[in-house]
Structure 1
Amino acid sequence: MQEELVLVRNETFKDFPIGNFPFDPQHSAMGEYHCYIPEGYRGNWYDPVVYHGWNGSGPTWIVTEENGKKFMEQTRVLSALKNLWPMLVSGDEFWQDYSVEVQVRMLSTISPAHAGIMFRYIHARSFYALLFQDKKLKLIKKDQENIEVLALCNFNYNCDTFYNLQVECVGSKIIGYVNNKKMVEATDRSYTRGKIGITATMPAQFTDVRVLMDPQAYKSYLMAKSNWVQVEKNLQCEHPQPVLWKIIDFKNFGAGRQIRFGNLPENNQKFMVIAQHQKRVHRDAYANISCLTAIDFDGNVIWQIGEPSSQKDHAYLTADLPFQVCDIDFDGVDEVIVARNFKIMILDGLTGKIKKQISAPFSDETDKLYSVPFGQYAFDRVNIDSIRIANLTGKTKPTDIIVKDRYSRLWAYDNNLELLWKFNGNNTGHFMFTKDIDSDGKEEVVVGYHLLDHDGKLLWTLPIESDHTDEIVIGPIDPERNEDIIAMACGDEGLVLSDLKGNIIKRHLIGHAQRISVGNYRPDLKGYEICVTTYWGYQGIIYIFDCKGNLLHQFEQPVPGNIITPVNWTGDGRDLILLSGHVQHGGMIDGFGRRVVTFPDDGHPILCADSIDVTGDGRDEILLWDEKKMYIYTQQDNGIKSDVLVPNKYSTINGSNYRGEFSFYNT
């Protein structure tokens, strides 16, 4: 009986103000590694779709009204979507057997546009949906790139009428209704539970979204949710929780994720160098460092170059900036290697004074450049995009310098800034990975889909034609292999695993793979686990794979900026995955996706997050910051422990927003 059902969700959108559903007007890459959340009321909904091509085109969703009735309206047209489905998502991942209904009106019925409801939604690439499309009612299943029609029937909808779409899903049985009339039915066991959502690929209006469960289903849902919450609480009791160690005031020289870490010679104390920038020509394509500030961990300024600014535009950037901190001349003191104003400079880490400098290389071969704004390079000399410290010449440690432009060319220098070689790879991705692969004492370079020898000679190129590498990790991921594996997040090309000879081992098309990390996330399994998250298109999907690339777990985060860095929090050889500083949706998860460490609601910044051992006990601290302040958290039981296992992690001499993070333990 209808009156016996439990009303779990009743959304009329009456609490929403007229206007835009919150969105980033720039449709920018900020969310790739910043927890950047546009202001505004969202209620119980979130938008999992972001696309750079919508810059300047306004919001995807707006709240409209007629005669006191409010509607959530999708505003984009099919030709602008690039195969994306605009969506708004709500509900609980533990909803299992339920009925969901919505009033929907298609403001355009052009083929092949659709409008309807999603249910048992895992993430934006995996769900069921009941849709109006092509003058039919379709019950479909979406699984990554595949869309399967489970059932359909003819239905002559029009643009003037609101229709009541309803789905009942109980076990494997799914029934679709229109205006309370049964229309389609199917049996499928792929997804047993999940959230709900609304979707349309041409303008359409939605209202009166209701989710109902019978009492037993509601009881089962509450029990499943309670069990998960209790497991998380128990695990949080087992894991040390964060304790605020220090707050640092950045005054007017702060920035987003443009910080590098080094060591002072006295007592090996750490310091940080913060870079602000100015944008030139086109968005973030040619950013130039405008101010460098070195401070200690008490916030004292050691030195500063350039003029600091309080403008967010000088602090917020969706790209790397070219600077690193490393003892590059073997004098026992870290230097700062920086490219600024068309010069490559080596600065004294203690004073900021220039020790050596050269002009940036001239920008030749401009007809062979990848993804240049307006098809024309803007300057005679190269605007350096990023820097990598490597060991190309066989020294006892990395002191050679590789610089690159945005997407095409590399130049390698020794520590005296003498040119070693240059390479035009056409598509070099964002950040290089270097490692001595052939055991000759000199590092090879993986850049884009290419492997270069230490002398810049091209050894092989992966057979991938489009997009670019966002992040790369090389390491002993699979213990059953006798060599390292190369793991790459390759944008729309997904997750790619390769051997050292350029043979693809496994590939998953999982959306736009943006970030990647490797760690001991599941100590119960052999080898190391691979974590990947998405951004462009359907953002915030987090996947965890085993050492062979088999999927273990997947879920979707309702907030961006999940950096998925491995954290040595407990010091016992197991790694946690750092998401963000968000109080509700951030924290650290284990390899099962359980939130085992949460951050206190103490007003800390959530824009940026990272992990590094600051206190010196071998375990990582968590750094949360924005352009104004940094909060540093250590463990509840912090103290020097002799039995702490310290993994091999990414060296601080190579900071980047596009480095695949890793945590490998000696076995």
Structure 2
Amino acid sequence: MNEQTEPNCDNELVLPWAGLMFRYQDLRHYYFFCLQNPAAEEKKIVLYRRADNDWHILAEEPFQVDTTKYYSLKAKLQGNRIYCYLDGSELFRATDYLYTQGKAGVRFNTDSRVKSINITMTKGEQHIFQSAKNKHEEEVDAIREEYPKPVLWKKLDFSHLWPFGCRFVNLRSAEFKDLLLLGREQLVAADLEGEVLWQKEGRISIHNIISRPDGKVEIPALSGKEIIIFDGANGQTLKAAPAPSTGKPRRRPSFDIKTVNLSDTSWSIILKLGAGKDLWAYDEDLKLIWTTSVKPDYGHSNSVIFYDVDGDGSKEILAGSTLLSPAGETIWQVEGYEEILNYKSRGCAWHVDSCVMGDFADDEEVDPVAFLSASSCGVWVVDALTGKVRNIHYVGHAQGTSVGNFRPDTAGLEVLVGTRWGNYGILNLFSGRGERLLTFEPDNISQGGPPANWTGDGRDLILLATSPQALGLWDGWGRKVVTFPVEDLPEKTTDYYRNWAGCLNLYGDSRDEVIFCAQGKIHIFTPE
């Protein structure tokens, strides 16, 4: 193994190491028996217990690593006792009660060679493991019987227009749910029978639509260097204005467009960069109202959101970690935001990737609450009225966020946050008050998924479609309770970077449908 490593977004210990992981819960919770070989510090062999950013040393010994030879590391587990061996001889032992079971593997963050890996169990241990596995599967199978089975309802084929993103919207009126296909160089509107209603050429981005009191539908959009409002019924341009200059020499500025009621009488357009600090607000006639900048930066599209925090009928704007008034004035910057900025020096992200805000706790003394997925700085739980931090959870690179009634037996709603860079696939479930309820890892790809109202009785499930093992609807206890028939899915449904999956009430009852789109084919499932 080498003596060098690089700063990373996984943890704050920048040490070159290689060794065994065992009783692995997820990428941030496990035991780690390793050779530690820093160039300028004491070289040693260490047994760690890892829990997020806490690397607790259970045992250690000085050890000079010869980088030209192989070493045999062995960990023997008996209940809460851990026995560690080096080249066949016991080195040390430790007692710990935190992790009682889990996976096994290897981990290294420097140039290393692994000759072989062996995992063995006694017959008694195999029996205990298989019995526990069978019991768990029987319990999950029984729970699955409580949920309706998915039935393929519609199949649409737009493969000749692929690739594109999907949006289901009311284009013609509130009575009709239609489909927008956002391609690389065109926007196509179609109905749920697959008939094209209209189409426009060019790269066009939208966020949501505006339903007028007279029943007409308008679509605010960005096309090239223009802000445009389309007629939802026929795609005709109703209004247009130049998009703002970013001062950067880009052929096509990267903006996200959002619409919001900044007053109780009219709607406005908020423009943000793909990631950055600047915001622009326009009225419904596309006249610039105000512009401002925030610090730290916001990240992806869902890092700028809206909520009526003070209950006055107008929505405030949460842009990353800054709350703005409808007039664009700063109400607060989150307490301790400098910590987010400091992650830049480690080569990690220092912005807020997504956020949610609302009355999640169902408690007047706590609500409203904001959850900031602050990239490498974890999840920040914030008093939405003051910007004061209530809790910080260092879960890794927090990115995707969704809200639902995932634990219907508890008050309020729950917030699901998924991680990415350095810790792909960990899903963290929080109560509306900000306590972490659960961490689970369906695969090492997902960053979470939308809530699905599959039963119509107030319970929400989590839709995942990032891999074959994750594909399905999951409950708030980390169990996959609804599976989809593979033969009815579009080809490459679980190809993460070439698919789309979502939940929406299309059929018209009280339950959501689940939509899968891959290779231009859209398959819609409804509960039986």
Provide TM-score, normalisation by structure 1. 0.71
Superposition map of 1:109-258 within 5 A: 112-134=15-37, 135-255=43-163, 258=165
Distance 1:138 1:161, change over 3 A: same
The one-letter amino acid of 1:244's match is L
The one-letter amino acid of 2:244's match is P
Q: Name 1:276's counterpart in structure 2.
A: 183
Offset, 1:562: 4.3
Q: Do residues 291 (structure 1) and 217 (structure 2) align?
A: no
Q: Name 1:45's counterpart in structure 2.
A: none
Distance 1:631 1:83, change over 3 A: closer
- What's the RMSD between the two structures over aligned residues? 2.3
Distance 1:84 1:453, change over 3 A: closer
**CA contact 1:139–1:184 (8 Å) conserved in 2:** no
The one-letter amino acid of 1:401's match is I
Comparing 422-431 with 605-614, which one deviates more in the overlay? 422-431
Q: Name 1:471's counterpart in structure 2.
A: 354
Q: Do residues 508 (structure 1) and 393 (structure 2) align?
A: yes
Q: Name 2:311's counterpart in structure 1.
A: 439
The one-letter amino acid of 1:416's match is D
Q: Name 2:345's counterpart in structure 1.
A: none
Comparing 327-336 with 178-187, which one deviates more in the overlay? 327-336
Q: Name 2:343's counterpart in structure 1.
A: none
Q: Specify the SS of the correspondent of 1:184.
A: strand
2: CA distance between counterparts of 1:433 and 1:479?
20
Superposition map of 1:365-404 within 5 A: 377-379=248-250, 383-395=253-265, 399-404=267-272
Q: Deviations over 1:299-321 (max 9, x none)?
A: 221111127xxxxxx9xxxxxx7
2: CA distance between counterparts of 1:172 and 1:378?
60
Superposition map of 1:615-654 within 5 A: 615-636=507-528
Superposition map of 1:1-80 within 5 A: 78-80=4-6
Distance 1:80 1:152, change over 3 A: closer
Offset, 1:460: 0.9
Distance 1:112 1:455, change over 3 A: closer
The one-letter amino acid of 1:417's match is L
2: CA distance between counterparts of 1:585 and 1:446?
32
Q: Specify the SS of the correspondent of 1:408.
A: strand
The one-letter amino acid of 1:476's match is D
Q: Specify the SS of the correspondent of 1:268.
A: coil
The one-letter amino acid of 1:494's match is G
Provide TM-score, normalisation by structure 2. 0.89
Offset, 1:399: 2.7
Pick 1 or 2: higher relative contact order, CA cutoff 8 A, min separation 6.
Answer: 1
**CA contact 1:294–1:302 (8 Å) conserved in 2:** yes
Distance 1:485 1:442, change over 3 A: same
Distance 1:428 1:201, change over 3 A: closer
1: CA distance between counterparts of 2:431 and 2:308?
25
Q: Which runs of 5+ in 1 are unaligned?
A: 1-73, 86-110, 278-289, 308-313, 315-320, 367-376, 637-667
2: CA distance between counterparts of 1:335 and 1:303?
14
1: CA distance between counterparts of 2:53 and 2:510?
43
Q: Deviations over 1:141-172 (max 9, x none)?
A: 11111112211223343223222211011111
Q: Specify the SS of the correspondent of 2:457.
A: coil
1: CA distance between counterparts of 2:58 and 2:94?
6
Q: Which runs of 5+ in 2 are unaligned?
A: 38-42, 341-349
Q: Deviations over 1:259-304 (max 9, x none)?
A: 3222144681211212123xxxxxxxxxxxx211111112221111
**CA contact 1:244–1:634 (8 Å) conserved in 2:** yes
1: CA distance between counterparts of 2:7 and 2:92?
28
**CA contact 1:121–1:127 (8 Å) conserved in 2:** yes
The one-letter amino acid of 1:273's match is L
Q: Deviations over 1:190-213 (max 9, x none)?
A: 111111111112211113211111
Offset, 1:530: 2.0
Q: Name 1:519's counterpart in structure 2.
A: 404
Candidates 266, 280, 291, aligned match of 1:411: 280
1: CA distance between counterparts of 2:177 and 2:388?
41
Superposition map of 1:292-311 within 5 A: 292-306=187-201
Superposition map of 1:334-349 within 5 A: 334-349=217-232
2: CA distance between counterparts of 1:264 and 1:359?
25
Offset, 1:325: 3.9
The one-letter amino acid of 1:456's match is G
2: CA distance between counterparts of 1:239 and 1:184?
50
Q: Name 1:93's counterpart in structure 2.
A: none
Paired residues, number: 497
1: CA distance between counterparts of 2:199 and 2:326?
35
Distance 1:474 1:112, change over 3 A: closer
